[in-house]
Structures are given as structure tokens and as C-alpha cells.
Structure 1
């Protein structure tokens, strides 16, 4: 990356500007000492068409005050949760032009009933939510459009502190805006912004509305999805955070394949190594994830990991804390094999671990069809079909007739083996939808419009 960008012309530019006439008609030189002026414009001309702005609208439930008579009389008949409309703005990145896939943050489109994607060329399209993951704050949308421009995705594992970074997004609804800076830190975690954190920190200005936008390198390749800022009143103070592109790619691949994130787990609990713990345990290392307990029959136990081990690398990449370890493992899918480097009794060891599925692998069914709102679905691990793992009282899904434990086996006489197949089947249907449901030993059809 640095071979294509020299700092020398910048220093020359400063010297040249000092001797320019001060009146407004003075023209900047095209060259200084025979060298072209440095500019990000050629790169941005290629990258910015792949970055979009996102407008959302919807309603969300508002908690009501406590009813003093509820203790005596229970919930009054007809009492409904209060809903209030909301509108929001964010950004997104086109990662697949042919399929119209757009990546953004989950918090940008969460609970939205209407999602509009606005391209740099002025076109606007309604987007469909393919899937999302609240723990890592990633969501995948799809639009139907021609002549889209996709962004090339770089391997964020190759980043170093000090690498140049450029943030592209639509802050404050102003329209597409570009800011620049450097990678300030890697593997940031423990910020309590998301449940799974492994952030890139940058001083490229990120503000409200930038969420879901692109963090790119000087080649215009995606290195991260801009997600959060740290500053008073939501303003930029040079500390912004982005989800690494490699983490994003792992999660999106799972959503595309399965319709959900099938998160892999090690089955350990622990703490981050610090000076106090290192002294108490007489350790010669000050960074890593300390394993305090290994769950029975877990992936970690099967791989031979023991309490007292210190995990320092995942697939050859350093791990500085237990939170960073959790973030890296949490973005890798169930069934995938990872190589861990650990310290045991002062000796370095490498072990291969095949991650097991997280026990709560299910998604909100509203992502698939509005009439399924209120249900949670999971691919059937004991056979084919999709299991209704939970259903909310008085929800649209309950009104359709779905109950907890139902297995959706087909849609309009088309068999569905898993969540991905159910999603694909529902995308193609316009009008009445007939769900083929297995309930115990009974087969029935439920109609949705």
C-alpha cells in the first residue's frame, strides 16, 4: 500500500503554498518540482459509487407507565403497547453488484418497516432485509437495480497501526462525505458498544449518519464498516470505530448461506491478562485471553484446551484480551476449524478447534415476511424444515396460526430444508403464501397475505 503513495510531495506542497499569492484568483500548481500533486480523487472516483445513503422509517414500541390497578385486575382488555413512528438516516456499502447486496449496521435498519437505498447517482430503490446480527451490528440488504458499482474487499487482518484510512458516508444527512486519517488502533474491545467487539479505531472523522458506511484504504478497498464514535454529544473527536472487513465477510457469508448467523463457540469462560493477574499467576506474559473454565463436551474440551491456558493467537493473529478473543471467535461460523496458539506452563502450543454452534441460533421471522413478525425461527437440527422456536402473544405470526414447536416444511408446495431456503422461497412469491406446517403428527396449511 505504501509503495503507491509517497510522503515527499506533501512536504513539497506545504513549501509551495507558503509562496503563493494571497489573492483569491491564485491557481494551485498542477506539479511541484516535476512531481504531480498528491490526491485521493482518482481512488475516490472508483470507490464512492459503491457507498450509499440509507433512509428508514417504521414504528417501535414505547413502554407505558405502570398501571396501579394491574395488580388487582390484571391487564385491561384491549390494552395495547403504544407505538410511535420514527425515521432515521445511515449509510451502506454495495459488496455485490450483480445480486444487489448492501452491507450496513443492524442499528441503522433495526425495526424499520421501510428501507430506501439512495445511490450516489441519485437513483433510489426499496431494499429488502436479507438478515442481520445484533451482537456484531451487521445487516445485509438487497436491492434490484442495474449498473451498480461494488467495492473490493481487502483483508483487514493485514492492517497495521499507522496505515492510512478514508471514511465514506452520509453524516447528518448532508450527502456523501469523505474524511481521511489513519488506523489508530486495532482489536479494540470492551467498549460495551456491541456484544462482540473487535474494532478498528481511526481518527478519520466519523459522525452521526456515517454508520454503515465504508472505511477504505488508499487503494479504495473496503477495510471496515463505520459503526460508532466516542465523543461528547455524538460529535467527532478523532476516535471512531469500524467493524473489520474480515469479520464482516465471515458474518455476511453465513447470512447469505443460511439466512442467519450460525455463530461458533469455544465453550470457555475467562478474563483478560493484565499486570495484576500475571503477577498472581506468576505469568511471563501480559496480553491474551486467560481460560478460567472449560465447559464439558465443548469444542475447547474436545481440542484439549484446559483451565489455566492463555490463548494468544487466533489463526496466526495476536489476541490482546479475552474480549478480543470473544469477538474474533464470535464472527466465525459453527463447524469451522480455527487454529489457536496458547501458552501452557510456559510452553507455546498450537491446537485446532472445530467450533460448535451457539445454543441460541435463531432469527426474528419478520426479516422474512411481515406476517411472520413475532416469531423466531431456526433451521431444524434434527431434520429438514424450519422450527418455530418462540412466538409472541397477539403478534401477526400468532394471528396466522403458528405456534411454538411448529416445523415449516414448505411454501406453496415448494419444500424448504432450512432458513436460507425459506427466505429464497418467500422472495419469489407475490400474493398469497401457503405455509406447509408439521405440528406433531399433523400436517396443515396456514395462509399468509
Structure 2
């Protein structure tokens, strides 16, 4: 009896401690035992199940014994379209507009998206925009009525040890709730996504939870459940969620532009280590050490120098270089941000306006005939084909690796955004002016 009473009192103390600012009553059971039910009754209608249908391109290499049927210049692989179905979770962040946030991998390649509410009501949804690098997607429910959204909290306020609740659709069972704590913050270098700044939690997250909500005890969304570490996809108490601050920054761009227009600071470096701090006589143990400032970059123009240690962005602490990189990559082009650095033992603040990120992009998103080509700005001007898939549509049109696109329909292009704008406005046939070595030629594309 004493053990049971101790357990109830301990949980009551923890819940009271974790929700000092909450307005939601937790203790309304008849026997006054603690419960999260009142909070969940308000929050769970905003978490939805997502089912998708579509088809994906599957490539299989043609066995050598059969290639003679196609001749010496025949295809090296066979391409097939195979149907697929998938399940996941999502979170309604704007009931009036019907906006739902989920993971990109939940809806990637889907031609049909069905959103099911907690009460079983179903709606079709369309994709507003996606960002594969951070694994975020924004959907819009069609003709949605009676929707409930969730209040978004600030993930910057989280501390290791804070209590959290994960809500989603594991294994297609239907809405399921699990609880745990924040196990770590700023997890990166996991190889799960290109941009990583995860919240780690031991709240049980399983297959199908992807895109679901990670909420605080007062019912605020502070993460989008994304991935787990575990054998055979099973939970072992190590789950990861995209922080709400990072999600919000990406979603605002998807709403405004339909895509993420990533900003670049223009610094290279590594984590601030004890050795670096000692060598520079710095009274700090966390931050991003700037080894190099890229010439003519946003950082150079603002006055940042090699040897600086970046300790905060917009007043929020930076733990390491990975943390800095993830935060910058979620902010849009042209956004003024405040960078706090340690220099010569003194704290200084700089205002920086991020410039455009012109890294390599998959050209299939720009024009169907460019499928299989990867583009990046060339040092001598134009857009270089840095990668080209053998047998792809772009290869069949005559493009080659290291070709440089210098103009489209006689309009010069030097950035991906310029190429996108020209292709979007082009009607019918598209003529690419290509620089190949020391020669120049035109290739005509169709199917736009």
C-alpha cells in the first residue's frame, strides 16, 4: 500500500512540476490519481492518420545473357512502374486553412493522399510543398470542416529531462499515445537526413508514427516524430523528432513559395572543443568554431572572421557546428538574422542577411526531359551537369556529364532559380544552349 501511494505521489509531483504554467487540469479522476487524459482529449483530434497510394519507378539491371537482343547500344536496365501503399501520421497546424504537417517520406511519390481524423472522418489532401533534405512536407486538406489544430510551442525552451508525449499511428493500429522524456537535444551526424538537429526521446516511436506529434505535458507541439534507431524497425527507446522551431521556419517557406529557398551563411568550421577553447583562452564549452569565412559570402560581408566562435543565432544558443548548420539551412534567403560570437574573449553581435544556396539539385523537378541529371552552378558561369544517370531521359536527349547549360531559349542562366523561371515561362519546345568543352551546341527538349 505504501509503495502504491509513493508512486502516485511521485508522479503527481512530476506532473505538477512539468506543468506549472499549464491551464489544463490533470487530476480529475474520482480517486484523484494523476492522468493526462484532459490534455490528450484536447490535443489528439489534431493528430491524423495518413494513407497514400502511388507508383514508384523500379530499375533492374538487364542480365548480360539477354542484352544481345537489344544490340550494342541498347538499354542496360529495365524500368518498371510498381504500385505502392503506405501509412503514416500528420499534425493539423491550421484548422481554418486545412494545413497538415507530416514527413516527406510518408507522402513521397504518392498520387492519392487520404487523411483520417481521430473520429474516423476522412478527407482527400494535396501537397503544398516538400523539403526532402529535412524530411518535412506540408499538405492541405480539401474541403475540410470541423478540424482541430494544435498550438505550436517553442522547441528552443526544451531541456533534457522534460516530459513529452508522442502521438501517431504505429503499425496502422490507429491513434496511439506513448510518453517519455527528452533524452537529448541537437542530435546530428546520424545519417538519417541531410539536415539533422533532432530532439531525442525515449517515448515509444514505431513504424507508422512518422509525421506524428511530440507534445509537452501542457499540449504544445514541440516536434514532428521522424525516425528511430532499432533492430527491424522496432522501438528500443531511441526516437528522433524534428524540432518545432525548425519545422515552422520550413513550413512558412513552403506556404509562401511552395518550396524551401535555403539560405547560406558562408562559414566552414567544426565544434568548439576543449582544446580550441583553451588555445583561444575562451570561457565557453559550446559553440561553432569558424575556421574559414568564405569570401564575398553573407558572413564576410557582415564582418565575421576566422577564429570567431558562434554561440547564438537570434538569441538561441548554438551547441555545435551541426546545430548551426541545421538552423541556417532552415532559414530563408534574404532573412536578416542576429549572430552572436566570441572574439578575443568578448561577446559581439552581427546582423547577417543570408544569401541563396545554389547547391546541386535534381533537375527532374525543373523539366521532365532533365530527369536523371544533377545541376550545380559552374565556376565559369552557367549550370553544370555534375551527375548523369545512364539511360535516363536527360541522357537520351543527348546531355552528357560536365555539360554546362548557359542559356535557355536564348535567355542566359547562371543559377537554378533563373533556370526554373525560364523553364516555367517557356511554352512548347525548349532549346538549351550547351557549352561542351570548347564547343557550343543546342539541344531541343520536349515534354515540358
Fold conserved between structures, TM > 0.5: yes
Return the alpha-carbon distance in structure 2 between the equivalents of residues 93 and 365 of structure 1: 29
* Partner residue of 1:43 out of 39, 43, 48: 39
**Deviation, structure 1 residue 73:** 5.3
Note the alpha carbon deviations across 1:281-340, whole angstroms, 9 max, x for none: 665433211111111110000011111111111111111110111011111111111111
Is residue 359 from structure 1 mapped to residue 358 from structure 2 by the alignment?
yes
Residue aligned with 2:61, SS:
coil
Note the alpha carbon deviations across 1:319-374, whole angstroms, 9 max, x for none: 111011101111111111111111122222111111111114978776x99x8994
Q: Are the equivalent residues in 1 in contact too, given 2:87–2:208 (CA < 8 A)?
A: yes
**Deviation, structure 1 residue 211:** 0.5
The match for 1:81 is: 79
Q: Are the equivalent residues in 1 in contact too, given 2:166–2:213 (CA < 8 A)?
A: yes
Distance 1:323 1:214, change over 3 A: same
The match for 1:56 is: 52
**Deviation, structure 1 residue 178:** 0.4
Q: What are the residue-to-residue correspondences of 1:19-418 with 2, within 5 Å?
A: 30-32=29-31, 36-65=32-61, 68=64, 74-76=72-74, 80-144=78-142, 145-278=144-277, 283-360=282-359, 374=371
Return the alpha-carbon distance in structure 2 between the equivalents of residues 168 and 365 of structure 1: 35
Where does the alignment leave 5 or more consecutive residues of structure 2 unmatched? 13-27, 376-386, 398-404, 410-417, 434-445
**Deviation, structure 1 residue 177:** 0.1
Return the alpha-carbon distance in structure 2 between the equivalents of residues 227 and 115 of structure 1: 19
Return the alpha-carbon distance in structure 1 between the equivalents of residues 221 and 263 of structure 2: 25
Cα RMSD after superposing both structures: 4.2
Q: Are the equivalent residues in 2 in contact too, given 1:316–1:341 (CA < 8 A)?
A: yes
Distance 1:13 1:300, change over 3 A: closer
Distance 1:78 1:375, change over 3 A: closer
Distance 1:75 1:321, change over 3 A: farther
**Deviation, structure 1 residue 236:** 1.4
Return the alpha-carbon distance in structure 1 between the equivalents of residues 239 and 11 of structure 2: 28
**Deviation, structure 1 residue 57:** 2.5
The match for 1:427 is: none
Note the alpha carbon deviations across 1:123-146, whole angstroms, 9 max, x for none: 222221111111111011112121
Residue aligned with 1:252, SS:
helix
Where does the alignment leave 5 or more consecutive residues of structure 1 unmatched? 1-6, 15-28, 379-389, 408-416, 424-433
Q: Are the equivalent residues in 1 in contact too, given 2:372–2:392 (CA < 8 A)?
A: no
Distance 1:259 1:38, change over 3 A: same
Distance 1:64 1:419, change over 3 A: closer
Return the alpha-carbon distance in structure 2 between the equivalents of residues 358 and 238 of structure 1: 36
Return the alpha-carbon distance in structure 1 between the equivalents of residues 251 and 6 of structure 2: 40
Q: Are the equivalent residues in 2 in contact too, given 1:13–1:37 (CA < 8 A)?
A: no
Q: Are the equivalent residues in 2 in contact too, given 1:9–1:37 (CA < 8 A)?
A: no
**Deviation, structure 1 residue 87:** 2.1
Moved more, 172-181 or 49-58: 49-58
Q: Are the equivalent residues in 2 in contact too, given 1:125–1:143 (CA < 8 A)?
A: yes
**Deviation, structure 1 residue 254:** 0.2
Note the alpha carbon deviations across 1:157-189, whole angstroms, 9 max, x for none: 222222221110000111100011122222222
Return the alpha-carbon distance in structure 2 between the equivalents of residues 358 and 232 of structure 1: 36
**Deviation, structure 1 residue 114:** 2.4
Return the alpha-carbon distance in structure 2 between the equivalents of residues 236 and 172 of structure 1: 12
Note the alpha carbon deviations across 1:214-242, whole angstroms, 9 max, x for none: 01112222111001112222221222111
Q: Are the equivalent residues in 2 in contact too, given 1:260–1:362 (CA < 8 A)?
A: no
With normalisation by structure 1, the TM-score equals 0.75
Return the alpha-carbon distance in structure 2 between the equivalents of residues 61 and 316 of structure 1: 45
**Deviation, structure 1 residue 92:** 0.5
Return the alpha-carbon distance in structure 1 between the equivalents of residues 295 and 135 of structure 2: 30
Return the alpha-carbon distance in structure 2 between the equivalents of residues 211 and 264 of structure 1: 27
**Deviation, structure 1 residue 375:** 9.6
**Deviation, structure 1 residue 10:** 3.0
Aligned length: 394
Distance 1:203 1:78, change over 3 A: closer
Distance 1:205 1:419, change over 3 A: farther
Q: Are the equivalent residues in 1 in contact too, given 2:59–2:77 (CA < 8 A)?
A: no
Q: Are the equivalent residues in 1 in contact too, given 2:59–2:78 (CA < 8 A)?
A: no
Distance 1:437 1:350, change over 3 A: farther
Return the alpha-carbon distance in structure 2 between the equivalents of residues 346 and 356 of structure 1: 29
